[in-house]
Structure 1
Amino acid sequence: MGCHAQRGLRLRVQVEVRVTTRGTDWQSWQESWDRQQEWYMPDREERFRVMLDMVEAVVGPEPRVLDLACGTGSITDRLLRRFPGATSTGVDLDPALLAIARGTFDGDGRVTFVTADLKDADWTERLPHTSYDAVLTATALHWLHSGPLATLYGQIGGLVRDGGVFMNADHMIDTDTPRINTAERAQRHAAMDRARAAGAVDWADWWALAAKDPVLAAPTAERFEIYGEHADGDMPSVHWHARTLREAGFGEARAVWASPSDSLVLAVK
């Protein structure tokens, strides 16, 4: 899943995705996804770094990981580059992003991808393992409302082994600070406008390019049948996430990284 609340903003130049003689250049699509996401989140790599720092600190350098709402496999990519002995199960419902993920990691025995809807009560039954050292997710669960998200946290509590971790890096809004929120949003959008003028690509036009690709056109159409243009979820505060994770069976939970708009919450079982 990606950051799609800003879908109305437009690009000034297009992404070039190469097609090789052997087929689609999945790495080009992977890189173009990263660039599009970085327009919304310039500090995206920093949150990934802190996430993997805490994986290593708590469960070590060879974890069994569940990449939750994995999208193109951004977390899995960084996980395996840093920890070659790790394994990853990526789970998502988006057929287009999963096509990119499967193409990128084709032939890598450390990686498995599962198609599942996290709102289904039995989605965990599709996974190849019943427990994980770490469940990781980034910029994806904000499309869920608080009720389904609390239910999901309960399911995740059953997947993480004792001593294992769950981490969620996402938009988390503190409604008690409206002036700070307004100032931060204005500053962030001004920076996005400057980047757009320099050629940055937004969510809506990235998908428009995918829809024109001969390989991704069909899964992109299917993706929009599933999700529509976007999903209107909630963005509760860090305190809500920490409290709900403790209620789900985690012993400790708090933010371990934050930007003015986003936070990374870590919960230890």
Structure 2
Amino acid sequence: MSPYMTDAAAWQESWDRQQEAYLPDREHRFTTMLDAVDAVRDTTAAPRLLDLAGGTGTISLRALRRFPDAEVTLVDLDPALLALATASLGDRATIVTADLNRPDWVDALPHRDYDAVLTATALHWLPADRLTGLYAEVREVLRPGGLLVNADHMPDDTLPELTTRLLARAEARRAARYAAGAVPNWAQWWEHAAQDPELRPLVERRHAIYPTGHSQEWNPPVSWHLGALSEAGFTEVGTLWRGGADAAVVAVR
């Protein structure tokens, strides 16, 4: 058996490469998110962070490199991705299995006073009414002055034609990388995971949780997110970062 099939670090590397095919500026958005955390945290105490829909622990790993003493909670439902997060993070983070489609996901959290809730390219699987509710629930687990950052596919609705062209350009570049065999696509990555003897049963459990895959992807414009966050009661709401058709919105309690 090759080391690739048993090494969590190798799986993390593979996940990063697969994701970067979709998000070439992925690391930039993460750095911007952590810059915002640095701006609001109490420098005399360890920051308390919630990695929402954290998957393999991408944000948690980078947060712990930036803030080695951070107290990190990671929440997700996918058993295969959670296994990789657990293997990579060990006792440096609290791993929570919870379904963000249910309002009671907050009951599984160890804290209600996070300095920041961070999430990236994950919440577009939630329908509008559920995401609206989730934003309000996130506000309640933040301390006063704490912040939420959500980086995702959020087009600028004032630039419809340019956004269409940017998306077409990105698709062409991604197709070229796939054709060259430079990176696996989403389906290929999961096919590979299903071949790993340790991940195979977890991938099967994943299929049972999502028998037809995730719900239909929903990518409203950034203005929708800003409106929903304002309605949820955050005191400051705005766009923290933008790259092409993607953006990171920030909301301060």
Give the TM-score, by structure 2 length.
0.94
User: What CA distance in whole angstroms lies between the structure 2 residues aligned with 1:180 and 1:73?
Assistant: 33
| Partner SS state of residue 34, structure 2 | helix
1:79-228 to structure 2, matched below 5 A, reads 79-106=63-90, 108=91, 110-198=92-180, 199-227=182-210, 228=212
* From 55, 58, 78, the counterpart of 2:62: 78
Task: Render the CA deviation track for 1:74-105: whole Å, top value 9, x for unaligned.
Answer: 00000000111111100000000000001111
Q: Report the AA paired with residue 199 of structure 2.
A: L
Q: Report the AA paired with residue 50 of structure 2.
A: L
Q: Report the AA paired with residue 117 of structure 2.
A: V
The question of 1:238 aligning with 2:215 is answered no
The two structures, once aligned, show a CA RMSD in angstroms of 1.4
Q: Which has the higher contact order (CA 8 A, sep 6+)?
A: 1
2:155·2:245 contact (CA, 8 Å) conserved in 1?
Answer: yes
**Deviation at residue 175 of structure 1 after TM alignment:** 4.3
Greater Cα offset, 68-77 or 189-198? 189-198
**Alignment CA distance shift 1:120-1:230 (3 Å):** closer
The question of 1:265 aligning with 2:249 is answered yes
Gaps of 5+ in 2: none
The question of 1:50 aligning with 2:62 is answered no
User: What CA distance in whole angstroms lies between the structure 2 residues aligned with 1:134 and 1:177?
Assistant: 30
**Deviation at residue 224 of structure 1 after TM alignment:** 1.6
Partner of 2:4: 18
| Partner SS state of residue 190, structure 2 | helix
| Partner SS state of residue 18, structure 1 | helix
**Deviation at residue 261 of structure 1 after TM alignment:** 1.1
Partner of 2:233: 249
User: What CA distance in whole angstroms lies between the structure 2 residues aligned with 1:138 and 1:161?
Assistant: 21
2:241·2:247 contact (CA, 8 Å) conserved in 1?
Answer: yes
* From 32, 35, 40, the counterpart of 2:14: 32
User: What CA distance in whole angstroms lies between the structure 2 residues aligned with 1:17 and 1:196?
Assistant: 24
Q: Report the AA paired with residue 41 of structure 1.
A: L
1:174·1:236 contact (CA, 8 Å) conserved in 2?
Answer: no
Q: Report the AA paired with residue 256 of structure 1.
A: L
| Partner SS state of residue 105, structure 1 | helix
**Deviation at residue 60 of structure 1 after TM alignment:** 4.5
Give the TM-score, by structure 1 length.
0.88
Greater Cα offset, 169-178 or 252-261? 169-178
Greater Cα offset, 166-175 or 88-97? 166-175
More helix by share: 2
Aligned residues: 248
User: What CA distance in whole angstroms lies between the structure 2 residues aligned with 1:103 and 1:129?
Assistant: 23
1:17·1:29 contact (CA, 8 Å) conserved in 2?
Answer: no
1:211·1:220 contact (CA, 8 Å) conserved in 2?
Answer: yes
Identity %: 50
| Partner SS state of residue 155, structure 1 | helix
**Deviation at residue 231 of structure 1 after TM alignment:** 2.4
